[in-house]
Chains A and B, each alone.
Chain A
Amino acid sequence: MTTTLAAPLAIAAWMAAAGAYAIRRPRAQRAADLLTMLGVGVGAVLLTWLWITLERPPLRTLGETRWWYAVLVPALGLLIGWRFQTRALAIPACFMGALFAFVNLQHPEYMDKTLMPALQSPWFVPHVIVYMLAYSALGLSCGVAAWALARRLWRREASVPEDVDLPHRLVMVGFPLLTCGLLFGAFWAKEAWGHYWTWDPKETWAFLTWSAYLVYLHVRSRHALLPRLNLTLLVIGFAVLLICWFGINYLPTAAESVHTYTRMD
């Protein structure tokens, strides 16, 4: 019940904020900031409520991680926007938050209180939250990169190196968090299953995601003057990330993975 109340409220707040950000006036921008914060606050209350009522961290199912993502993206958009003195993230962040909240409304996954023994680990919360933060930063990076590519394509202009500046900064935040998430997962796997890395399909996709951004960072370090290549790599990187997050459930290797509890089985 709380979900069906909180989600529309958060979606409305973020959509209104996106509209207000589009009006490039100081008062509208301040109102948009407040609306974004309202949506984030409502989402945070929802997550807290879930944590209390489920009597476990709401980080187990795909639906639960989507909520974290929906809340963290606008929150990160605001924080990083303030830090980097830019509002370029504001509209994509609000749209992404609203989109993921909307998907959760359309597919309200059943959330029970059970938590399998392997998930009852001190590594569970840091591993998933760090990953969600990384996904949020890299999702924003992809959003800004895709927007820059689309805008240039629409206007039939060549991309310029400045187009990559903001998405690159987001990768500089997201990639280290992605590394931490990967390593936390390895430490946890060692404690739970006896080995830190077994090339399980989910682990392999996590490695592929990390590799995709590694390729981007190397290409960027050498070919900073090829913005279209850099922007395209960011979009590809996020596509790989999405497969790792939930696309893997639709692959033939999903049945071989021990990490299938993100599905609502």
Chain B
Amino acid sequence: MKPALADRPKNRAGSLELRAMPRRAGETPSAERGREGFWEGDPSYPQAILTILTAMAIGVVFHLRIGYRFELPAGAALIGGLIYALIVCIVTRRWQTHRLVRWVSGVPFAVTSIVAVGLTAGVGAVIPSSQLERWIGIPTVFRSWTFWMLILAMLTNLLSVTARRCLPLTYRNFQFTLSHLGLILVILGGAWSGASLERSRLVVSLGNASDTAQMENGRAVTLPFTLQLREFTLESFPPTLALATLDERKPDGLAMTPGHQFVKAGMRERIGGYQVEVKEYLPRAALVGDRWHAVPFSTSAPAARIAVTDRNGALAAEGWVSCGGLDTDRSLVQLSPTQAIVMPKPRPREYRATLQIAQGEQRGTQLLRVNYPLSVGDYRLYLLSYDETMGSASEYVVVEAVRDHGLPMVYAGMFLLLGGAALMLWNGIGQPKGKETRA
């Protein structure tokens, strides 16, 4: 029986000594530990916590001296990162039995740095950016020096342990190396991405070729190609109905009880205690006088003639309901002074833009859709949005142009991580059958 946690030996820092594994070669016997200074003997959790706190403090000093809006040149980030990685690897391989090297590459340092990164990320995961900016002057912890100092500490641990364990490359070390090297590449590539990433947005209009985009910080950039919108297509899902009730407690004064069936002739649905039946449905309609008529225009609105009965089966109301469009106002069926059946705007199913792309003498037309970006030179183009007030008659789309030199390194890291995960899963499922464990 192991001694209870409270009975375990404590080191000079007064913290619980969590090490439960047998002593390894080069480690100081525990009896001698009590007489050592804080950094003598084998460093463990207390030293790791102190180091991490120091890294955070350095981050705070950098923040106060430099601020958080710093821009590191992409080349410097890459070269600096690689040189740092090389130094850590060489030092680890050269002095791999040294107690400090073993500590930097050890579990206590790893656990402490992961927990510190997690806690810092947790701040960003819980506190909204506006609140954070009011409190500490930065909208996100993920761009703070403190966060990056912690990432550096974690990276140092990863580099050191990988350099230690990658050779000899046995099967067990192979899985370990895949996962850890993958994470190293993701962090280094991510840092390179952060320094080199160019994300800019441009409004691409019908009839106007444009090559000027705007970065996130408001800076205008000229792209090496021009874009022009040739055609925009929007497909929407059929509309649904909803019961709107006046409610002062809601921000917009309305409580909505949504129906979930698509509107079509003959559709019946119970919404908020009312039975709604669609008598007639016009996917494209316009209001002429007091009646809706089918029209062929894409700017028209869907409309439905409905009959609404209450819980007792008595007819509560009958009339036309429509979400309205560019050419016509919305229409609702009033049930009482505080309730009405309405038709929310149909949700978009898909939108796509046909773009004319000109680069030098080359000119071509390509289709851009959400989830299917286009590659033009170093850039990838993404369809972000359109003029929602105009709907399918939108005369422009918003395109994002992204150039990210760090992406191949990040993807390489991700694939290594996937490989490591696959091997871990294989080992996890393929473990020899164990003893019966009682529930």
Chain A residues with a Cβ under 8 A of chain B: 83-92, 110-118, 120-121, 144, 147, 158, 162, 165-166, 169, 172-173, 175-177, 179-180, 183, 186-187, 190-197, 199, 201, 204-205, 207-208, 211-212, 214-215, 218-219, 221-226, 228-229, 248, 251-253, 255-256
Contacts and interface: CB of A to CB of B under 8 A. Distances in A.
Interface in B55-106: 106
Interface in B232-277: 237, 240, 258, 260-262
B428 A176 contact: yes
Contact of B439 (A92, A120, A179, A194): A92
A15 to B, nearest CB: 16
A252 B130 CA distance: 11
Given A85-B433, A225-B20, 9 more contacts: A120-B370, A158-B4, A193-B382, A194-B199, A194-B382, A201-B125, A204-B124, A226-B18, A253-B124
B107 A83 contact: no
B428 A173 contact: yes
A199 B140 contact: yes
23 contacts: A88-B436, A88-B439, A113-B262, A114-B347, A116-B347, A118-B370, A147-B439, A169-B428, A169-B431, A175-B421, A183-B414, A192-B370, A201-B124, A212-B118, A218-B114, A222-B20, A222-B21, A222-B107, A223-B19, A248-B125, A252-B126, A252-B128, A252-B131
A108 to B, nearest CB: 11
A228 B4 CA distance: 10
Contacts of B4: 158
A87 B414 contact: no
In this complex, the member of B4, B20, B117, B428 whose beta carbon has the largest number of chain A beta carbons within 10 angstroms is B428
A38 to B, nearest CB: 21
Contact of B190 (A158, A197, A248): A197
Interface string B109-139: 0110011011001101111110100000000
A253 B380 contact: no
Interface of B is mostly: mixed
B155 interface: no
A interface secondary structure, majority: helix
A197 B19 CA distance: 36
A173 B425 contact: yes
Contact of B2 (A83, A158, A248): A158
B38 interface: no
A194 B400 contact: yes
A110 B260 contact: yes
A179 B417 contact: yes
Contact of A186 (B107, B108, B414, B428): B414
Nearest to B199: A194
Contacts of A112: 240, 258, 260-262
A88 B436 CA distance: 8
Contact of B19 (A186, A187, A191, A222): A222
Interface string B20-33: 11000000000000
Contacts of A197: 190
A205 B414 CA distance: 19
